[in-house]
Amino acid sequence: MYSQGLIGADGTTEETEEFLAAFQARIDREEKIEPNDPMPEGYRKTLIRQIGQHAHSEIVGMLPEGNWITRAPSLRRKAALLAKVQDEGGHGLYLYSAAETLGVSREQMTEELLSGKAKYSSIFNYPTPTWADMGTIGWLVDGAAIMNQIPLCRCSYGPYARAMIRVCKEESFHQRQGYELLISLCNGTKEQKDMAQDSINRWWWPSLMMFGPHDADSSHSEQSMKWKIKRFSNDELRQKFIDATVPQAEYLGLTVPDPDLKWNPEKNNGKGGYDHGEINWVEFWQVVKGHGQMNRDRIKARKKAWNDGEWVRDAALAHAEKRAARQTAQAAE
Amino acid sequence: MSVALFNALLELGDDHLILGHRVSEWCGHAPLLEEDLAMPNMALDNIGASRNIYTYAGEVEGKGRDEDQLAYLRLDREYKNCLLVERPNEDFAHTMLKQLYFSAFMEPYWQAALSSSDETIRGIAGKAVKEMAYHIRHAGEWVIRLGDGTEESAKRMKEAVEELTPYVEELFVMSADAQECADDGILPDREALRAQWNQTVANIFDQALLELPEVKYPQLGGRTGHHGEEMGFLLAELQYVQRAYPGMSW
Ligand SMILES: [Fe+2]
Ligand SMILES: [Fe+2]
């Protein structure tokens, strides 16, 4: 590969074969790449896109669960849900900071989210009509996020890897908390168990879609694997998730809505694994392209928060400037 | 059991729950990401305090009611929170001012409760007093920024002051139950906290270029269950699952 690009803020440099090979050698030695290190422009762009999408997913992800904070059925659950949604906002914050080390501002990224230019995880474009969804999201959605993110703790880009270590700890807590919520429902009345089953019926397939298209249809995977941004392919991670999750559903006494799901002892080099039915890729692309049930509502809610908050941000800025001016004036006296 | 203590604890518990509910409505919709983290913190503190208070109220009552039965399963006239905390969020200026007004009262309240004759109250106060000091700081800083920010923010801040100040008086009102608990040295005398509240708010308003209006017609009624129109909607949301699926555990 031979290409032109920017390196750092110092100016244009040619990305010669030599440069790329030296960079690849660092990656292969498992050295962490830090913000001021030279890096190919493609590496920087890939990371900005990926970390940005990840940050946006955390922020948009506050909405479907935030939907139940005021209606949580017990004070313990309410506090846990509030803390969870707050954690997701915190994840957004670390991730925006990690992306900022690559030379893009939080404002810029926010504007790209609001304009529809930047994407976020398709999963958050599904509605949360019932309380059971708070359990299912924790169990399946945070569970799928963990599968994706554990390998990112070893991502070649230092700031992203470090952010992921902290995020993963909290995500596993969310996953256990969600599962525990479902246990309560499944130990409860028939109505509660039905509510849990209905929720899994709605979230199972969208959770599998979180891992992205099949490897054969995934456009950026190969280079990302080479640069050790990614460590496992979409299909590998999806398989791990299914194998880990199906027994958990069984323990709950619930089923996953896949008539083709079957244990296959040959899978995973003879360790066994589940064969599963085909994902509805038409639905996946529909949601990714912005036409899921909640896409418009999610962006509208984010825009509203951003636009309604403008006067607050302006005031904070104006106040900080006034204060600084007063301090300068005082110092001059 | 002490009926007076039970009722006075409900006043306190309801204040914290309802204010926590209001501020939690912001979660995911804040003007900036930092506030999407800070407002749930305040909600968690308020709701956390309400849980401790309700649990103790249930013990004092001795009828086996737990925090959730007290929080969720009463009728609107049975909630004893002051009107201030149930006021709708309106905008960020109203929300921060409401938090400031409440915490500027509760911080000295819990401070005084540290020397209560009741051990459980002292325990609740020990945790809450630090939280309220933080709420004063956080909300107070915003009141200053907004009051002395842009023309628009100053205007909104003044409107919030106009609208919310008439509800402050109810914080100081001593119900017969609260009075009985104060006489027994269990809970602080609310009336005695006026000077501290005034001082905290005056100090912040001074920097925020705001003036505290004189209130000729204070708005009272929450303590006796005479709530405003929005309270019914708040309770409809709060109680929805418990009412729709009665008697289940979650
Ligand atoms: Fe997260
Ligand atoms: Fe999470």
A180 pLDDT above the threshold of 60: yes
Contact between A86 and B37 (Cβ < 8 Å)? yes
Domain annotation covers residue B9? yes
- A14-58: pLDDT as tens digits: 688 999 999 999 999 999 999 999 999 999 999 999 999 999 999
Protein residues with C-beta less than 5 angstroms from the ion ligand 2: A 142, 171, 174
A97 pLDDT above the threshold of 50: yes
ipTM, two decimals: 0.97
Contact between A227 and A43 (Cβ < 8 Å)? yes
Block residue for tokens 């459980």: B120
Question: Residues of chain A with pLDDT > 90: what percent?
Answer: 89
Beta bridge partners of A273: A264
Subunit contact A73:B21, Cβ cutoff 8 A: no
Which residue on chain B is closest to A196 by alpha carbon?
B250
- B145-169: pLDDT as tens digits: 999 999 999 999 999 999 999 999 9
CATH of the domain at B116: 1.20.1260.10
Interface of A with B in 83-142 (CB under 8 A): 83, 85-86, 89-90, 92-93, 96, 106, 131
Q: What is the arithmetic mean of pLDDT over B115-137?
A: 98
Q: Which of B70, B95, B59, B62 lies closest to B11 in space, CA to CA? A: B70
Please give the tally of structural domains in chain B. 1
Block residue for tokens 């970390």: A51
Q: How far is CA B229 from CA A57, B16, B76, B80, B160, in A?
A: 37, 19, 11, 15, 19
Distance, CA of A176 to CA of A166 (rounded, Å)? 16
Q: How confident is the model at residue B17 (pLDDT cuts 50, 70, 90)?
A: very high
Q: How confident is the model at residue B205 (pLDDT cuts 50, 70, 90)?
A: very high
Q: What is the arithmetic mean of pLDDT over B184-195?
A: 98
- Contact of A59 with chain B, judged by CB distance below 8 Å, is answered with yes
Contact between A88 and A62 (Cβ < 8 Å)? yes
Which residue on chain A is closest to B142 by alpha carbon?
A316
Q: How far is CA A239 from CA A144, A185, A220, A243, in A?
A: 11, 27, 20, 6
- Residue B175 pLDDT: 97
Subunit contact B31:A92, Cβ cutoff 8 A: no
Which amino acid, B72? Y
Q: Which of B110, B113, B21, B17 lies closest to B70 in space, CA to CA? A: B17
Q: How far is CA B216 from CA A26, B176, B190, B219, in A?
A: 74, 24, 20, 10
Which amino acid, B57? A
Contact between B208 and B148 (Cβ < 8 Å)? yes
Q: What is the arithmetic mean of pLDDT over A171-185?
A: 97
Domain annotation covers residue B249? no
Which residues constitute the domain of residue B185?
2-244
Distance from CA of B96 to the nearest CA of A (A): 11
Question: Residues of chain A with pLDDT > 70: what percent?
Answer: 95
- Contact of A73 with chain B, judged by CB distance below 8 Å, is answered with yes
B101 pLDDT above the threshold of 50: yes
Among A79, A93, A189, select the one facing B47 at the smallest CB separation: A79
CB pairs under 8 A between A and B: 141
Domain annotation covers residue B229? yes
Q: Which of B129, B98, B29, B88 lies closest to B233 in space, CA to CA? A: B88
Q: How confident is the model at residue A128 (pLDDT cuts 50, 70, 90)?
A: very high
Interface of A with B in 178-217 (CB under 8 A): 181, 184-185, 188-189, 191-192
Distance from CA of A167 to the nearest CA of B (A): 15
Subunit contact A304:B29, Cβ cutoff 8 A: yes
Q: How confident is the model at residue A222 (pLDDT cuts 50, 70, 90)?
A: confident
Instruction: Output the average pLDDT for chain A.
Output: 93
Distance from CA of B39 to the nearest CA of A (A): 9
Ligand 1 centroid to residue A265 C-alpha, Å: 34
A72 pLDDT above the threshold of 60: yes
Distance from CA of A54 to the nearest CA of B (A): 15
Q: Which of A128, A126, A124 lies closest to A70 in space, CA to CA? A: A128
- Residue A14 pLDDT: 60
Mutate which of A60, A75, A100, A195 to test chain B, going by most B C-beta atoms within 10 A?
A75
Among A85, A188, A304, select the one facing B249 at the smallest CB separation: A188
Distance, CA of B184 to CA of B179 (rounded, Å)? 9
- Residue B231 pLDDT: 98
A13 pLDDT above the threshold of 60: no
A7 pLDDT above the threshold of 90: no
Among B25, B148, B250, select the one facing A319 at the smallest CB separation: B148
Which residue on chain B is closest to A307 by alpha carbon?
B31
- Cα angle, residue A199 at apex, residues A286 and A180 outer, rounded to 5°: 130
Distance, CA of B118 to CA of B62 (rounded, Å)? 17
Is the pTM above the cut of 0.90? yes
Q: What is the arithmetic mean of pLDDT over B81-105?
A: 98
For chain B, first and last CA: distance in Å?
29
Q: How far is CA A228 from CA A5, A35, B65, B214, in A?
A: 20, 16, 56, 66
Distance, CA of A118 to CA of A110 (rounded, Å)? 9
Contact between B219 and B166 (Cβ < 8 Å)? yes
Q: Which of A128, A143, A144 lies closest to A195 in space, CA to CA? A: A128
Tokens of B88: 């709708």
A219 pLDDT above the threshold of 80: no
- Residue A15 pLDDT: 85
A11 pLDDT above the threshold of 50: no
Strands (DSSP E) contained in chain A are 3-7, 11-15, 262-264, 273-275
Contact between A161 and A101 (Cβ < 8 Å)? no
- Residue A50 pLDDT: 93
Domain annotation covers residue B165? yes
- Residue A311 pLDDT: 98
Domain annotation covers residue B250? no
Distance from CA of B133 to the nearest CA of A (A): 21
Q: How confident is the model at residue A101 (pLDDT cuts 50, 70, 90)?
A: very high
Q: Which of A304, A294, A305, A306 lies closest to A121 in space, CA to CA? A: A294
Distance, CA of A83 to CA of A318 (rounded, Å)? 31
Distance, CA of A94 to CA of A96 (rounded, Å)? 6
- Residue A12 pLDDT: 42
A304 pLDDT above the threshold of 90: yes
Tokens of B65: 């009611």
H-helix segments, chain B: 3-24, 33-61, 67-72, 83-86, 92-113, 119-147, 151-164, 169-172, 176-183, 194-208, 229-244
Which residue on chain A is closest to B93 by alpha carbon?
A312
Which residue on chain B is closest to A82 by alpha carbon?
B40
Q: Which residues of A touch B245 (CB under 8 A)?
A: 73, 189, 191-192
Ligand 1 centroid to residue A149 C-alpha, Å: 10
